[in-house]
Amino acid sequence: MFAALPTQAHARLVRHRMLFLKEIPMGLVNFLLRRLLAAIPTVGALVVATFVIMRVLPGDPAIFFASSPVPTAEETAYVRQKLGLDRSVPEQLLIYLKDIGSADLGMSFTTGRPVLTELRERLPASLELATVALILALTVSIPLGVAAAIWSGSLFDHAARIISSIGVSMPTFVTGLILTYVFFLWLGLAPEPVDRIDMFITAPPRITGFLLIDSTLSGDWAALQSAAGRLVLPSVTMAIFVLSPLTRMTRSAMLGVLSSDFVRTARAMGLSDRTVYVRYAFRNALLPVLTTMGIVFSTMLGSNVLVERVFGWPGIGSFALNALVASDYAPVQGFVLLMGLLLIGINLAIDVAYGLADPRARRAS
């Protein structure tokens, strides 16, 4: 709004604002609108791409989307007609879009329920795992990266680099299995890698679907303890895998910023170490780290499937995988669509956060 107004009115508004708020992020609303509008064609591309992969590519999609592993001839014909496979590809696309638009993602014959319902029920499990893993990864990698930059060249720096390199070299399923072996089988510290909560403890009433939040809200401490306990190993497994890119990026961003001209100015003006490191160095170093988060999230959503398989986690990943193995393709399509949407949403959020943090990004270029 503010960017399009002539300057005098702008100045008056800014002066008004000065009385009430600290500072208005310049042109933020414009920026948000632009980003949202840019995301719409991406969603469109996502839907079309999913169509291409799942409908156009397979040999005979009718067999893939039938409701049993060995469909009868009438069944196949019925599915073919319903999916419009006897029509041209553009018409198929329209049917597909209509289905998606009316929230009809098909039926899963392995569970006998609509795909949308299954995904909706299982999504919080996967999201909770991914969120906890990300928080864990950030809590470790950012301080590690900052420390490695401040004490660059030291033994600590080299050790941090080697450890995170090892972490990213091991696939999540290997890390998960080894962690389970050590902590569950050998040391007996971790609970069984099956499900999110002990089967003898009743789950708290479903408010958000996130067990940690729900059990806290209903004061159910036994459930909270069990749920938290079961979250430890899978989230650590996921976190280890993304430690390396995050630490490395934090370190190089911090190193770059610490040797920059404006940090030299800040030091020359006698600002305290804390101000220099936090307000001048760290905030600026976070910008490239923020960009890396997009890739990190993509990796985590990808490894979701593997981790859920190893730990028997009842999320969307294991749902899709079980369906895939049983040649039940409607859930796989729904899963791919959902993953794409999640990624677009997350990238949008990161873009917005970046725009908030860096005023240069908000310029109408």
Partner 1 sequence: MLIKTEPPLLSIDRLAVEFVTPNGRVRALDDVSLQISTGEIVGVVGESGSGKSVTAYSILGLLPAEANITSGSITYLGSALRELGGRELKAIRGSEISMVFQSPQTALNPIRPVGAQIADVVMAHSPLNRAQAAARAIEALREVRINSPERRVHAYPFELSGGMCQRSVIAMALACAPRLLLADEPTTGLDVTTQRAIMDLLVELTRSRGMSTMFITHDLGLAAQYCDRVIIMQSGRIVEQGLTEQIFMTPRQPYTRRLLSATPQAHTKLIDLIPASEQQVFKVSSPLTAASKPNRAAVGSPVLRVRGLTHEYPLHGAPRSLLRLLGRRQRSDKDGANKFRAVDGLSFDVAQGECVGLVGESGSGKTTTSRLIAKLVRPTAGSIQLNGEEIADADPRAFARSAMRRVVQIVFQDPAASLDPRRTAFEAIADPLRRLEGIRRPAELGRRIRDICDLVELRPALLGRYPHQLSGGQKARVGIARAISVYPALVILDEPTSALDVSVQAVVLNQLDRLKRALGLSYLFVSHDLNVVRLMCDRVMVMKSGSIVEQGKVDDLFRDPQHPYTKSLLNAIPRIDFEVDAGSGAKQLSNFP
Partner 2 sequence: MMQRISALLSHACRMVARNGVSLAAVGIVTLLLCLALVGPMLTAYPPYVTDLANVLSPPGRLHWFGTDQLGRDVLSRVVASARIDLFVAVCAVAASFTVGVGIGGLAGYLGGAFDLWTSRVAEMVQVFPLFVLAMALVAALGNDLRNVVLATAIVNLPFYIRLARVEVGVLSTQLFVEAARVAGNGDARIISGVLLPNVMPNLMIQLSVNLGWAILNAASLSFIGLGIRPPTAEWGIMVAEGATQAMAGHWWLIVFPGFALALAVFAFNLLGDALRDMFDIRSR
User: Min. distance of Cβ 292 from partner 1 in angstroms?
Assistant: 18
Q: Is 42 in the site for partner 1 (CB under 8 A)?
A: no
Residues 181 and 176: their CA atoms lie apart, in Å, by: 9
Residues 302 and 278: their CA atoms lie apart, in Å, by: 33
> Residues in contact with partner 1, total (CB under 8 A)?
36
What sign results for the dihedral spanned by CA atoms 129, 122, 346, 25? negative
User: Min. distance of Cβ 345 from partner 2 in angstroms?
Assistant: 11
Q: Is 279 in the site for partner 1 (CB under 8 A)?
A: yes
The beta strands (E) that lie in the chain are given as: none
**Which listed range, 77-85, 220-228, 231-239, 295-303, lies at the site for partner 2 (CB under 8 A)?**
295-303
User: Min. distance of Cβ 66 from partner 2 in angstroms?
Assistant: 15
Q: Is 121 in the site for partner 1 (CB under 8 A)?
A: no
**Which listed range, 71-79, 234-242, 283-291, 303-311, lies at the site for partner 1 (CB under 8 A)?**
283-291
Site string for partner 2, 36-65 (x = CB under 8 A): ------x--xx--x---xx--xxx------
Cα radius of gyration rounded to whole Å, the chain: 25
Residues 37 and 97: their CA atoms lie apart, in Å, by: 20
Site for partner 1 in 241-270 (CB under 8 A): 260-262, 264-270
Strand pairing partners for 114?
107
- What 173-182 contacts at long range (C-beta under 8 Å, 24+ apart), as own/partner pairs, is 173/306, 173/307, 173/309, 173/310, 175/237, 175/240, 175/241, 176/233, 176/234, 176/237, 176/306, 176/307, 176/310, 176/311, 177/310, 179/233, 179/236, 179/237, 180/233, 180/310, 180/311
Q: Is 154 in the site for partner 2 (CB under 8 A)?
A: no
Residue closer to partner 1 by CB (options 344, 361) is 361
**Which listed range, 7-15, 140-148, 312-320, 339-347, lies at the site for partner 1 (CB under 8 A)?**
7-15
Residues 52 and 99: their CA atoms lie apart, in Å, by: 15
Residues 163 and 145: their CA atoms lie apart, in Å, by: 12
Site string for partner 2, 319-338 (x = CB under 8 A): --x--xx---x--x--xx--
User: Min. distance of Cβ 282 from partner 2 in angstroms?
Assistant: 26
**282 and 254 Cβ atoms separated by less than 8 Å:** yes
Residues 67 and 202: their CA atoms lie apart, in Å, by: 33
CA dihedral of residues 188, 190, 191, 196 (deg, nearest 10):
-170
Residues that bind partner 2 (CB under 8 A): 42, 45-46, 49, 53-54, 57-59, 165-166, 168-174, 177-178, 180-181, 185, 298-299, 301-306, 309-310, 321, 324-325, 329, 332, 335-336, 339-340, 343-344
Residues that bind partner 1 (CB under 8 A): 4, 11, 14-15, 18, 23, 26, 33-34, 37, 260-262, 264-273, 275, 279-280, 283-284, 287, 357-360, 363-365
